[in-house]
Structure 1
Amino acid sequence: MKKYFIQKAPFVVPTTDGKLIEEHHGLATTNNSAISIAHMIAPPGWSEPFQTPEFDEYTYIIKGKKQFIIEDETIVLEAGQSIKIEKNTRVQYSNPFDEPCEYLAICTPAFSMNAVNREE
Protein backbone atom coordinates (compact mmCIF):
# COMPACT_ATOMS: atom_id res chain seq x y z
CA MET A 1 0.00 0.00 0.00
CA LYS A 2 1.33 3.43 -0.95
CA LYS A 3 2.03 5.90 1.81
CA TYR A 4 1.34 8.92 -0.38
CA PHE A 5 -1.27 10.29 -2.74
CA ILE A 6 -0.61 12.64 -5.65
CA GLN A 7 -3.60 14.80 -6.50
CA LYS A 8 -3.86 15.09 -10.28
CA ALA A 9 -7.56 15.89 -10.54
CA PRO A 10 -8.65 18.48 -7.98
CA PHE A 11 -12.38 19.02 -7.51
CA VAL A 12 -13.50 22.23 -9.22
CA VAL A 13 -16.18 23.71 -6.98
CA PRO A 14 -19.10 25.09 -9.01
CA THR A 15 -19.43 28.87 -8.51
CA THR A 16 -21.65 31.62 -9.89
CA ASP A 17 -19.34 34.56 -9.16
CA GLY A 18 -16.46 33.85 -11.56
CA LYS A 19 -14.15 32.54 -8.83
CA LEU A 20 -12.08 29.44 -9.59
CA ILE A 21 -11.86 27.01 -6.67
CA GLU A 22 -9.81 23.84 -7.10
CA GLU A 23 -9.87 21.72 -3.96
CA HIS A 24 -6.80 19.47 -3.90
CA HIS A 25 -7.41 17.91 -0.50
CA GLY A 26 -10.47 18.10 1.73
CA LEU A 27 -14.01 16.86 2.10
CA ALA A 28 -15.00 17.19 -1.58
CA THR A 29 -11.91 15.46 -3.01
CA THR A 30 -10.29 13.09 -0.55
CA ASN A 31 -12.95 12.93 2.19
CA ASN A 32 -10.39 14.45 4.58
CA SER A 33 -12.15 16.29 7.40
CA ALA A 34 -8.91 17.39 9.13
CA ILE A 35 -7.64 19.81 6.46
CA SER A 36 -8.56 21.31 3.13
CA ILE A 37 -6.16 22.79 0.61
CA ALA A 38 -7.50 24.78 -2.33
CA HIS A 39 -6.02 26.77 -5.19
CA MET A 40 -8.17 29.80 -6.00
CA ILE A 41 -8.36 32.66 -8.45
CA ALA A 42 -10.68 35.52 -7.50
CA PRO A 43 -11.58 37.79 -10.42
CA PRO A 44 -11.45 41.59 -10.18
CA GLY A 45 -14.46 42.94 -8.28
CA TRP A 46 -15.22 39.62 -6.54
CA SER A 47 -16.47 39.49 -2.94
CA GLU A 48 -18.17 37.10 -0.53
CA PRO A 49 -20.61 37.83 2.29
CA PHE A 50 -19.28 38.13 5.83
CA GLN A 51 -18.79 34.77 7.55
CA THR A 52 -17.73 33.38 10.92
CA PRO A 53 -16.09 30.02 10.14
CA GLU A 54 -15.68 27.18 12.62
CA PHE A 55 -12.18 26.50 11.24
CA ASP A 56 -8.81 28.27 11.11
CA GLU A 57 -8.05 29.57 7.62
CA TYR A 58 -4.60 30.25 6.22
CA THR A 59 -4.26 32.23 2.99
CA TYR A 60 -1.09 32.58 0.90
CA ILE A 61 -1.18 35.12 -1.95
CA ILE A 62 0.54 33.94 -5.15
CA LYS A 63 -0.39 36.82 -7.49
CA GLY A 64 -2.36 40.03 -7.13
CA LYS A 65 -3.93 41.40 -3.94
CA LYS A 66 -6.77 40.28 -1.66
CA GLN A 67 -8.73 42.34 0.85
CA PHE A 68 -9.80 41.00 4.24
CA ILE A 69 -12.19 42.73 6.62
CA ILE A 70 -11.49 41.02 9.94
CA GLU A 71 -13.92 42.10 12.66
CA ASP A 72 -13.61 45.92 12.14
CA GLU A 73 -10.16 46.04 10.51
CA THR A 74 -9.43 46.14 6.75
CA ILE A 75 -6.21 44.42 5.64
CA VAL A 76 -4.79 44.02 2.13
CA LEU A 77 -2.30 41.25 1.38
CA GLU A 78 -0.04 41.16 -1.68
CA ALA A 79 1.87 38.39 -3.47
CA GLY A 80 4.28 36.59 -1.16
CA GLN A 81 2.32 37.41 2.01
CA SER A 82 0.17 35.08 4.10
CA ILE A 83 -2.27 35.28 7.00
CA LYS A 84 -3.89 32.99 9.54
CA ILE A 85 -7.42 33.89 10.62
CA GLU A 86 -8.57 32.04 13.72
CA LYS A 87 -11.86 30.17 13.80
CA ASN A 88 -14.93 31.97 15.13
CA THR A 89 -13.66 35.28 13.71
CA ARG A 90 -16.03 37.38 11.58
CA VAL A 91 -14.37 37.97 8.21
CA GLN A 92 -15.16 39.08 4.68
CA TYR A 93 -12.96 38.22 1.69
CA SER A 94 -12.88 40.29 -1.49
CA ASN A 95 -10.84 41.39 -4.49
CA PRO A 96 -11.84 45.02 -5.15
CA PHE A 97 -8.76 45.47 -7.34
CA ASP A 98 -8.28 45.57 -11.14
CA GLU A 99 -6.40 42.27 -11.49
CA PRO A 100 -7.19 38.66 -10.55
CA CYS A 101 -5.92 37.39 -7.20
CA GLU A 102 -4.41 33.89 -7.17
CA TYR A 103 -3.98 32.28 -3.78
CA LEU A 104 -3.93 29.11 -1.70
CA ALA A 105 -6.39 28.58 1.13
CA ILE A 106 -5.80 25.98 3.84
CA CYS A 107 -8.50 25.28 6.41
CA THR A 108 -8.19 23.22 9.61
CA PRO A 109 -10.45 21.39 10.09
CA ALA A 110 -11.50 21.15 6.45
CA PHE A 111 -13.76 23.74 4.82
CA SER A 112 -17.42 22.82 4.72
CA MET A 113 -20.51 24.85 3.87
CA ASN A 114 -22.01 23.71 7.19
CA ALA A 115 -19.11 25.24 9.15
CA VAL A 116 -18.50 28.50 7.22
CA ASN A 117 -21.56 30.34 8.63
CA ARG A 118 -22.01 32.86 5.81
CA GLU A 119 -24.31 35.77 6.48
CA GLU A 120 -27.33 36.32 4.23
Structure 2
Amino acid sequence: MSRNYYLQKSPFIVPTDDDKYIAEHVGKATDGNDKLSIAHMVAPPGWSEPAQTPEFDEYTLVVKGRKKVVVDGDTIILNAGESIKICRSTTVHYSNPFGEPCEYVSVCTPAFSLEKAHREV
Protein backbone atom coordinates (compact mmCIF):
# COMPACT_ATOMS: atom_id res chain seq x y z
CA MET A 1 0.00 0.00 0.00
CA SER A 2 1.43 3.34 -1.04
CA ARG A 3 1.09 6.40 1.20
CA ASN A 4 0.75 9.97 0.04
CA TYR A 5 2.17 11.40 3.27
CA TYR A 6 5.15 11.17 5.56
CA LEU A 7 4.66 11.40 9.32
CA GLN A 8 7.74 12.73 11.14
CA LYS A 9 7.97 11.21 14.61
CA SER A 10 11.74 11.38 15.06
CA PRO A 11 13.16 14.77 14.03
CA PHE A 12 16.93 15.17 13.90
CA ILE A 13 18.14 16.86 17.11
CA VAL A 14 20.94 19.18 16.07
CA PRO A 15 23.84 19.14 18.54
CA THR A 16 24.64 22.64 19.85
CA ASP A 17 27.12 24.12 22.27
CA ASP A 18 24.95 27.08 23.30
CA ASP A 19 22.01 25.27 24.96
CA LYS A 20 19.72 26.06 22.01
CA TYR A 21 17.30 23.23 21.20
CA ILE A 22 16.93 22.51 17.48
CA ALA A 23 14.72 19.71 16.16
CA GLU A 24 14.77 19.54 12.37
CA HIS A 25 11.58 17.93 11.07
CA VAL A 26 12.31 18.40 7.37
CA GLY A 27 15.64 19.26 5.79
CA LYS A 28 19.09 18.16 4.79
CA ALA A 29 19.99 16.50 8.10
CA THR A 30 16.65 14.71 8.53
CA ASP A 31 15.58 13.49 5.12
CA GLY A 32 18.08 14.95 2.66
CA ASN A 33 15.64 17.60 1.44
CA ASP A 34 17.67 20.53 0.12
CA LYS A 35 14.69 22.58 -1.06
CA LEU A 36 13.02 23.23 2.32
CA SER A 37 13.78 22.89 6.01
CA ILE A 38 11.40 23.10 8.96
CA ALA A 39 12.72 23.19 12.51
CA HIS A 40 11.28 23.59 15.99
CA MET A 41 13.63 25.61 18.18
CA VAL A 42 13.94 26.87 21.73
CA ALA A 43 16.46 29.65 22.39
CA PRO A 44 17.38 29.96 26.08
CA PRO A 45 17.50 33.32 27.86
CA GLY A 46 20.65 35.23 26.91
CA TRP A 47 21.16 33.25 23.68
CA SER A 48 22.70 34.93 20.64
CA GLU A 49 24.30 33.74 17.42
CA PRO A 50 26.60 35.56 15.00
CA ALA A 51 25.04 37.73 12.30
CA GLN A 52 24.57 35.93 9.00
CA THR A 53 23.85 36.72 5.35
CA PRO A 54 22.21 33.50 4.17
CA GLU A 55 21.58 32.14 0.69
CA PHE A 56 18.03 31.17 1.77
CA ASP A 57 14.80 32.90 2.75
CA GLU A 58 13.96 32.30 6.41
CA TYR A 59 10.50 32.46 7.93
CA THR A 60 10.23 32.56 11.72
CA LEU A 61 7.02 32.08 13.74
CA VAL A 62 7.33 32.71 17.48
CA VAL A 63 5.21 30.30 19.54
CA LYS A 64 6.20 31.41 23.07
CA GLY A 65 8.37 34.20 24.44
CA ARG A 66 10.14 36.88 22.40
CA LYS A 67 12.98 36.98 19.90
CA LYS A 68 15.13 39.95 18.92
CA VAL A 69 15.89 40.35 15.22
CA VAL A 70 18.22 43.02 13.82
CA VAL A 71 17.91 43.42 10.05
CA ASP A 72 19.08 46.31 7.88
CA GLY A 73 19.67 48.43 10.99
CA ASP A 74 16.12 47.87 12.28
CA THR A 75 15.61 46.16 15.64
CA ILE A 76 12.44 44.09 15.72
CA ILE A 77 11.05 42.29 18.76
CA LEU A 78 8.94 39.34 17.68
CA ASN A 79 6.30 38.33 20.22
CA ALA A 80 4.38 35.06 20.50
CA GLY A 81 2.00 34.76 17.56
CA GLU A 82 4.08 36.99 15.28
CA SER A 83 6.20 36.00 12.30
CA ILE A 84 8.79 37.48 9.98
CA LYS A 85 10.34 36.64 6.63
CA ILE A 86 14.01 37.50 6.12
CA CYS A 87 14.90 37.50 2.43
CA ARG A 88 18.06 35.74 1.25
CA SER A 89 21.21 37.87 0.94
CA THR A 90 20.06 40.06 3.84
CA THR A 91 22.29 40.39 6.91
CA VAL A 92 20.38 39.42 10.03
CA HIS A 93 21.24 38.89 13.69
CA TYR A 94 19.02 36.76 15.95
CA SER A 95 19.11 36.76 19.76
CA ASN A 96 17.08 36.23 22.91
CA PRO A 97 18.21 38.87 25.43
CA PHE A 98 15.08 38.28 27.49
CA GLY A 99 14.66 36.39 30.77
CA GLU A 100 12.52 33.60 29.33
CA PRO A 101 13.03 30.96 26.64
CA CYS A 102 11.84 31.73 23.11
CA GLU A 103 10.12 28.87 21.31
CA TYR A 104 9.71 29.22 17.56
CA VAL A 105 9.43 27.46 14.22
CA SER A 106 11.84 28.25 11.39
CA VAL A 107 11.25 27.47 7.72
CA CYS A 108 14.06 27.97 5.19
CA THR A 109 13.89 27.85 1.40
CA PRO A 110 16.10 26.39 0.11
CA ALA A 111 16.91 24.26 3.14
CA PHE A 112 19.17 25.56 5.90
CA SER A 113 22.80 24.58 5.78
CA LEU A 114 25.65 26.04 7.79
CA GLU A 115 27.62 26.54 4.57
CA LYS A 116 24.81 28.66 3.08
CA ALA A 117 24.20 30.67 6.28
CA HIS A 118 27.45 32.66 5.89
CA ARG A 119 27.73 33.48 9.59
CA GLU A 120 30.16 36.17 10.65
CA VAL A 121 33.21 34.98 12.54
Which residue pairs with 2:33 in the alignment? Answer: 32
For residues 46-103 of structure 1, what are the alpha-carbon distances to aligned partners after superposition, in whole Å with 9 as ceiling and x for unaligned?
0000100000000000000000010211100000000000000000000000000000
TM-score (norm 2): 0.98
| CA RMSD between the two structures | 0.5
Unmatched segments (≥5 aa) in structure 2? none
Confirm whether residue 56 of structure 1 aligns to residue 41 of structure 2.
no
For residues 3-50 of structure 1, what are the alpha-carbon distances to aligned partners after superposition, in whole Å with 9 as ceiling and x for unaligned?
210000000000000000000000000111110000000000000001
Q: Percent identity?
A: 59
Q: Distance in 1 between matches of 2:61 and 2:34?
A: 21
TM-score (norm 1): 0.99
Q: Distance in 2 between matches of 1:3 and 1:53?
A: 32
Q: Distance in 1 between matches of 2:53 and 2:27?
A: 19
Which residue pairs with 2:80 in the alignment? Answer: 79
